């Protein structure tokens, strides 16, 4: 039930910020469409802790702040590779790929990890299976940096701390 209320709040917020017209007619249209979307989502059984990770609401912004710094740094690296390749004749990139083993157990953690890898330019997560991620990197140093596992530890701290409550809600979330 909690997830349904949160979905309602998110959808209502999106409607209100995008419409800008607050006449009763349009507001009732908004209410109807929000309820309709919630009914469809309930029927698809996607209203649960995976689509709305409420347990992470306090820690996720901090992680995204950290990720944002990583994104800026890796953007500058890739830009340096591009301009370096344009103005000098020597090789600035060394594309390589490798399966990186991961110790993240939960699905949410793996998705977050692969998503973060893809968000930082210079590394792309191509395939995820039970205990490893296939990563393609623009430079070898980028791949090595990823293998040191700083990002993985951040996500581990984020998701494992409440893994107990996560599995519990996973069972009782048929709201």
- Residues recorded for the chain: 175
Return the number of other C-beta atoms located less than 10 Å from residue 103's C-beta: 11
Q: Which is nearer to other proteins, 118 or 167 (CB)?
A: 118
Q: Is 78 in the site for other proteins (CB under 8 A)?
A: yes
In 3D space, the residue among 68, 54, 127 whose CA is nearest the CA of residue 97 turns out to be: 127
Q: Is 136 in the site for other proteins (CB under 8 A)?
A: yes
Q: Is 140 in the site for other proteins (CB under 8 A)?
A: yes
CB of 146 to other proteins, least distance (A): 11
Query: At how many degrees (to 10) do helices 60-87 and 107-119 cross?
Result: 30
How far apart are the C-alpha atoms of 128 and 111, rounded to whole Å? 9
Q: Is 84 in the site for other proteins (CB under 8 A)?
A: no
Question: What ranges make up the beta strands (E) of 1-160?
Answer: 96-101, 123-128, 132-137
Task: Build a one-symbol-per-residue string for 23-62: x at contacts with other proteins by CB under 8 A, - elsewhere.
Answer: ----------------------------------------
Chain residues binding other proteins by CB under 8 A are: 14, 17-18, 20, 71-72, 75, 78-79, 81-83, 85-86, 91, 93-99, 114-115, 118-127, 134, 136, 138, 140, 143-144
């Amino acid at each position: 039930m909690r997830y349904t209320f949160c979905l309602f709040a998110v959808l209502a917020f999106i409607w209100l910020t995008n419409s800008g017209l607050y006449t009763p007619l349009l507001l009732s249209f908004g209410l109807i469409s929000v309820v309709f979307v919630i009914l469809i989502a309930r029927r698809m059984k996607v209203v649960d802790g995976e689509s709305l990770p409420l347990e992470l609401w306090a820690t996720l912004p901090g992680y995204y702040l950290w990720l944002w710094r990583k994104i800026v740094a890796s953007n500058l690296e890739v830009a340096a590779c591009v301009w370096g390749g344009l103005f000098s004749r020597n090789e600035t990139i060394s594309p390589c790929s490798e399966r990186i083993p991961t110790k993240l157990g939960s699905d949410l953690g793996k998705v977050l990890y692969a998503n973060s890898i893809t968000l930082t330019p210079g590394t792309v997560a191509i395939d995820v299976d039970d205990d490893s991620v296939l990563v393609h990197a623009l430079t070898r140093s980028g791949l090595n940096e990823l293998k040191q596992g700083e990002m993985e530890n951040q996500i581990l701290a984020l998701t494992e701390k409440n893994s107990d409550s996560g599995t519990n809600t996973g069972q009782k979330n048929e709201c």
